A and B are shown apart, each in its own frame.
Chain A
Amino acid sequence: MSRSSRSSRAAIGFLAPFGVLFALFFVAPIGYAVYQSLFTVERSGPLGLGGAHTVFAGLSNYSRALADAQFTASLGRVLLFGVVQVPVMIIGATLLALLLESASARGIRFFRTAFFLPYGVPGVVASILWGFLYVPGISPIVSLAHGAGWQVDFLSSGTVLWSIANIATWQFTGYNMLVLIAQLKSVPGDLYEAATIDGANAWQVVWHIKLPMLRPALVLTTVFTIIGTLQLFSEPLVLKPLTGNINGSYTPNLNAYTEAFQNNNYNLAAAEAVLLALVACVLSFGFLKIVGRREKP
């Protein structure tokens, strides 16, 4: 037996566990969703009660999804959400990371844990907690504001999207901060030494060393946040009963869920899920391409 064939066999052995799981839990379901999205149910007999069979429908589920004003509106809604929430959270996470990594920081361990803690709260629980803080009649925030003569309504049609953004920001800023801190920690100390010898002040160190060194981590967290934004699901689902301003098609994911599990339109839901995945791909790789281009002057 030659050495190369033995090592390639070892490589296959090491790759197999990942490969099998990846194929089973990612490739196969995606393939199945695409397959499902190409079919539709046809009914026969009086009143359609004579039975049903599945027929090939081409791309008609896709055209139906795109013609559905509620679905396209939900896409627009998460895009608007992302345009505001992604920068807010990334800037917030960067600020927190820089503060905790600055030379004059105190109580670093406590604050790092405190900022990260919300990430440990499951999304559904976080939404329930915030729900209590939003609902009039129960929320101490709302009653304090009303006492001060300020008529706030966190669940009105104009504000509810930003109330959701607040939950997401609260939950994930600390997580992103931790990713950025890890990156800062890997910055070689001699860079700082060199900067100090050259007479750079703290601001200049941030601007010329820390931020450029953070770049890969910033790209990573931004892409994750864009994807997470498009997949917005559990927060609106939990807050939905509290207000009529969130409905079953508030976000693309919620819309697909409603079509599949309330309206029994599995094929349409599959098409919507595939469309959402495509949008996520385009946005993520589009973003990576833009930042990649800037890298090469």
Chain B
Amino acid sequence: MNAGAVSRRTLLAGSAAAAAGLGVAGCSSSDSGGSAPKAKERKPGQKITLTFWAWVPGIDKAVDLWNSQNPDVQVKLEKVSPSGGAQYAKMHAALKAGNPPDVAQVEFQVIPDFLLDNGLVDLAKYGIAKDKDKFVDWQWQQGVFGSSVYAVPQASGPMGLFYRKDLFDKWGIAVPTTWDEYAAAAKKVRKADPKAYISTFPPANGGWFTGLAWQAGAKWFDTHGDTWTIDIDNAETRKVAEYWEGLIKQGLVSTEPDQQDSWFADVQHGRIVAWPSAQWGDAILSGNAEPTKGKWRAAPIPVWDKAKPISANWGGSTTALLRGGNYITDALKFAVWLNTDPKSIDLLIAGGYGWPAAKGAFAGSALDKPSPFFGGQKYNTVFAASDKLIDKSWKWIPTIQATYKHLGDEFTKAINDKTSFATAIANVQKATVADMKAKGLKVA
């Protein structure tokens, strides 16, 4: 509130400050479509510098390695903040202003959003096809639209279950392998320690819930001809939503936000004893719950059907070339090297970038080692198996950020007002269709 000195200076200034702030930032070009501007290419022997926007911790070391090996093609890394989608706001603004970085980190789920602004270079035109076999197929497919390829996959987030082995042993709880067993384990945790919960249902974490719906076999988004189809309100999604609704109503899980101060405190003090999460959750646990070192283990994510185990994915990144950037041939070479060179991958793993998109990168890598935080367990074998059981056909829509917000709003409302999660899902469906139509897109 009281935006401070600026708004206090004069009445007129004060009442207009909101408009002013947005006006400046809202500079849009009237033509974001049409043919791509001519990108500069490097002449033989010419020294160039590529600009690269990313936020993976430790990626600077991989960039340094590239720079030491490629004196003519230097890469200038600029770290961008991933907080609340700020990095994408910056990229979209740069695209509109016509001075984007040559290379950028772009997550799977926002690729369609960038395509809507015609913001990514079609790499198929620059011969990326030859590199296809270097990458895990489903991750590769995330960047494929029709005959075009818009991104070099970097890493994904196969899901597993992190749990406190010491407490599970003490309380005589077997590691749950199905979601039914997970509910039973949740009950036992409550009985063993009234202050503890097995985990939380983070109402505002749309990405996490999407991963679990994906696991249950939901296919939210697809395209038919020139039309998008939205199918969030389906039997699979409702099954997942109602499962967690049941746990909440019985008081078996908490509803605090995850990866926040209070959640970290609960994890440190044994009040949250498990976390269905992605592989990259390992760094979050070890970085924020140091006193619990050695007490954690990883297990496969609980499944719905033991006979047909399907795993889940939460998050994932690519390296993409933004339209309007230069030196595409060299930029593409860097993007492929960054995500396939074993030394680069090891440096990225050390930073905690997720699960490698490069095929066969796991064996012998820094991931393929026992971890002291997980009591000497070679815990990543769990995620190696998980990565192979992910449904490959999942697609995204251009308005996914808004859908995540709708999920958060509707789940929060349902929990506060004690209304049904099925209604919440139906509302998210309606709101998402409205978002797409408001963008001027055809929705079936």
Contacts and interface: CB of A to CB of B under 8 A. Distances in A.
Contacts of A230: 18
Contacts of B365: none
Interface string A12-52: 00000000000001101111111010001111111111111
A167 to B, nearest CB: 8
B85 A262 contact: yes
Contacts of A132: 261
Contact of A227 (B7, B256, B439): B7
A224 B439 contact: no
B205 to A, nearest CB: 9
B30 A54 contact: yes
A29 B7 CA distance: 15
B419 to A, nearest CB: 13
Interface residues of B, number: 77
B1 A235 contact: yes
Given A49-B116, A235-B1, A244-B204, A270 B22 contact: yes
Contacts of A28: 23
Contacts of A260: 22, 25-26, 89
Nearest to B226: A46
A276 B18 contact: yes
Sorting the interface of chain A by its residue count into under 10, 10 to 19, 20 to 34 or 35 or more gives 35 or more
B19 A242 contact: no
Interface in B1-38: 1-4, 7-8, 11-28, 30-34
A195 interface: no
Contacts of B15: 227, 277, 280-281, 284
Contacts of B415: 244
Given A43-B441, A137-B271, A168 B22 contact: no
Give 9 nearest A-B pairs by CB, closest first. Answer: A51-B33, A228-B2, A33-B23, A46-B226, A29-B23, A261-B89, A244-B412, A280-B15, A137-B265
Interface stretch (A91-99, A100-108, A185-193, A245-253): A245-253
A284 B15 CA distance: 8
A225 interface: yes
A21 B411 CA distance: 47
A241 B265 CA distance: 15
Among A29, A232, A234, A252, the one with the most B-chain Cβ atoms within 10 Å of its Cβ is A29
B157 interface: no
A180 interface: no
Nearest to A64: B438
B3 A228 contact: yes
Interface stretch (B52-60, B184-192, B397-405): B397-405
Nearest to B397: A47
A247 B20 contact: no
A268 to B, nearest CB: 8
For the complex, would chain B's binding face be called helix, strand, loop or mixed by DSSP majority? helix
B319 to A, nearest CB: 21
A86 B118 CA distance: 47
For the complex, would chain A's binding face be called helix, strand, loop or mixed by DSSP majority? helix
Contacts of B261: 131-132, 135, 137-138, 242
Interface string B247-282: 000000001110011110110010100000000000
Contact of B11 (A136, A171, A223, A235): A223
Given A51-B34, A266-B25, A284-B11, 17 more contacts: A26-B20, A40-B440, A45-B226, A47-B228, A53-B32, A53-B33, A135-B262, A156-B416, A231-B18, A235-B1, A241-B257, A248-B405, A262-B89, A264-B116, A265-B439, A280-B15, A280-B18
Contacts of A248: 405
B18 A253 contact: yes
A247 B28 contact: no
A157 B203 CA distance: 13
Contacts of A235: 1
B152 to A, nearest CB: 20
Contact of A157 (B12, B271, B416, B441): B416
Contact of B20 (A33, A44, A48): A33
A122 to B, nearest CB: 8
11 contacts: A26-B13, A29-B24, A42-B440, A48-B440, A48-B441, A54-B30, A224-B8, A231-B18, A248-B405, A260-B22, A266-B22
A163 interface: no
B440 A33 contact: no
A171 B2 contact: yes
A264 B2 contact: no
A181 interface: no
A69 B12 CA distance: 28
B315 to A, nearest CB: 17
Nearest to A82: B1
A261 B21 CA distance: 12
A136 B200 CA distance: 14
Among B22, B412, B438, the one with the most A-chain Cβ atoms within 10 Å of its Cβ is B22
Contacts of B84: 262
A243 interface: yes
B391 interface: no
Among A26, A164, A253, A269, the one with the most B-chain Cβ atoms within 10 Å of its Cβ is A26
Contacts of A178: none
A68 to B, nearest CB: 10
Among A41, A45, A64, A284, the one with the most B-chain Cβ atoms within 10 Å of its Cβ is A41
B20 A29 contact: yes
